[in-house]
Amino acid sequence: DAGITQSPRHKVTETGTPVTLRCHQTENHRYMYWYRQDPGHGLRLIHYSYGVKDTDKGEVSDGYSVSRSKTEDFLLTLESATSSQTSVYFCAIRKTGTENTEAFFGQGTRLTVV
Amino acid sequence: SQQGEEDPQALSIQEGENATMNCSYKTSINNLQWYRQNSGRGLVHLILIRSNEREKHSGRLRVTLDTSKKSSSLLITASRAADTASYFCATDHNTDKLIFGTGTRLQVFP
């Protein structure tokens, strides 16, 4: 298995509270991604990173921010959680962005906002 | 949205039968990838087909790509109960993004 660890694996939080999810990799891959998975929508890209301190928005970035201060860590923050952000969040890594490479996924974080 | 769509949304077959699922996308791609997800788990890469390829095989998997129609299909031959999972296509565009489709849930009955 690719060395990707997501933490926490499960979290229940209250509306309006900040939440940070962590993705940690041991593969030294350049690209890291955050997706959310919801029934009927498949996986939707939230944000991604193409290097330390280099990030960009995905399809559903509103209400989320990210940071990557080290190659191995990519943090996803919900500044003020809402019920619509209840979802399963997946982190993925890729060796390169456009040179025909596959992505490796973490096991997911199930977030419930009550 | 660049998100692709897959059909059918759900597919139920008997062991031994073939399963075909389709993926359509909207903009030009570098490559198209197929992934599998077992219930409650992360996605696992199955196969990648480049934009200049038309067909690719890997074991019981056969993938085709028609860039003129912006579509791809995944064929699983001689399916097994262990193939029960959700299958997603993902398109790699001329950016760094990897965009996933909505997925097909495959159920294979023994």
In this predicted model, what pLDDT tens digit does every residue of A41-83 receive, in sequence order?
Answer: 889 999 999 999 999 999 999 999 999 999 999 999 999 999 9
* CA distance to partner chain B, nearest, from residue A81 (Å): 23
How far is the C-alpha of A44 from the C-alpha of B39, rounded, in Å?
18
How far is the C-alpha of A105 from the C-alpha of A6, rounded, in Å?
10
* CA distance to partner chain B, nearest, from residue A44 (Å): 7
Quote the pLDDT of residue B2: 60
Indicate the pairing of strand A19-25 with strand A4-7. antiparallel
| Single-letter code of the amino acid located at A1 | D
Residues ≥6 apart with Cβ < 8 Å to B84: B106, B107, B108
Residues ≥6 apart with Cβ < 8 Å to B100: A35, A42, A43, A44, A45, B3, B4, B35, B88, B89, B90
Instruction: Give the count of beta carbons closer than 10 Å to the beta carbon of residue A54.
Output: 12
Residue A100 has pLDDT above 80, yes or no: no
* Tokens 């973490």, located at residue: A106
How far is the C-alpha of A27 from the C-alpha of B30, rounded, in Å?
24
As a whole number, the mean pLDDT across chain A is: 93
Is there a contact between B42 and A108 if contact means CB atoms under 8 Å apart?
Answer: yes
Q: What is the average per-residue pLDDT within B66-95? A: 94
pLDDT band at A101 (very low <50, low <70, confident <90, very high): confident
Residue B5 has pLDDT above 90, yes or no: no
pLDDT tens column, B45-56:
999 999 999 999
pLDDT band at B3 (very low <50, low <70, confident <90, very high): low
Interface of chain B toward chain A, CB-CB under 8 angstroms: 1-3, 6, 30-31, 33, 35, 40-45, 48, 50, 88, 90, 92, 94-103
Quote the pLDDT of residue B1: 59
Q: Are A9 and A110 in contact (CB under 8 A)?
A: yes
Q: How many residue contacts between A and B have a Cβ separation below 8 Å?
A: 68
